[in-house]
Amino acid sequence: MLDAKILRDTLKEIFGIEDRYLVPISTNWFLPTVDPEDKVHTWIGYRILSKKPYVRAAQYGSDMTKPVKVSFRLTFVGPQAEELADQVLLWEDRTDVIKAFEKSQSQINYTDRTSFTYPVRNGGYNDDMAWIVDMSAQTSYIVDTKQVPWFSKV
């Protein structure tokens, strides 16, 4: 199952990046201030955009599983932003990427990838151009067939 935590772990493995350079995108996401001593200068943001089931659940052995399409966004800011975005467009040809997604029983969709730029404003300070890649992956959720309520009956 692909969720935000697993996506983060997968991206860390693929990019070989430290935690401080991989940040979840939220409504108040800002451009990190570049430290002159920093050798990387490129930041990666990530966010799950949607999860969409597309067929009914099926039973495999004792488990009921439901295929789900997980759409997500990667944002690159810094001097290597365009290069990293271009690399993502070629992920289906990289065995390390395929293996990283397989760890969460996921597979990237080959034809569902778009790269574009967007200006990022940071109050006039440290503004930049971000490279954004929207893409998706197929995964499956194990269906809880016990049908118990999520709230307690007190």
**The pair of three-digit structure tokens given for residue 123, joined into one six-digit string:** 């109050």
Q: Which domain holds residue 122?
A: 4-143
Q: Is residue 149 part of a domain?
A: no
Q: Is residue 148 part of a domain?
A: no
Q: Is residue 21 part of a domain?
A: yes
Q: Is residue 87 part of a domain?
A: yes
Q: What is the pLDDT of residue 31?
A: 58
Phi, psi of 96 (to 5 degrees): -65, -35
Q: Is 12 helix (H, G, I), strand (E, B) or coil?
A: helix
- Amino acid identity, position 126: N
- CA-angle at 115, arms to 94 and 85, nearest 5°: 50
Q: Are 74 and 46 in contact (CB under 8 A)?
A: yes
pTM of the predicted structure, to 2 decimals:
0.83
Q: Is residue 152 part of a domain?
A: no
Q: What is the pLDDT along the chain (154 residues), one digit of tens a residue?
A: 899 999 999 999 999 988 888 988 876 655 565 566 766 678 899 999 999 988 777 777 777 788 899 999 999 988 889 999 999 999 999 999 999 999 999 999 988 899 999 887 766 666 678 899 999 999 988 776 666 666 666 6
Q: Is residue 151 part of a domain?
A: no
Q: Is residue 78 part of a domain?
A: yes
Q: What is the pLDDT of residue 149?
A: 62
CATH number at residue 103: 3.30.2000
Q: Is 66 helix (H, G, I), strand (E, B) or coil?
A: strand
Q: Is residue 85 part of a domain?
A: yes
Residue at token pair 């570049």 = 34
Residue 84: which H helix or E strand, with range? helix 81-88
Number of domains within the chain: 1
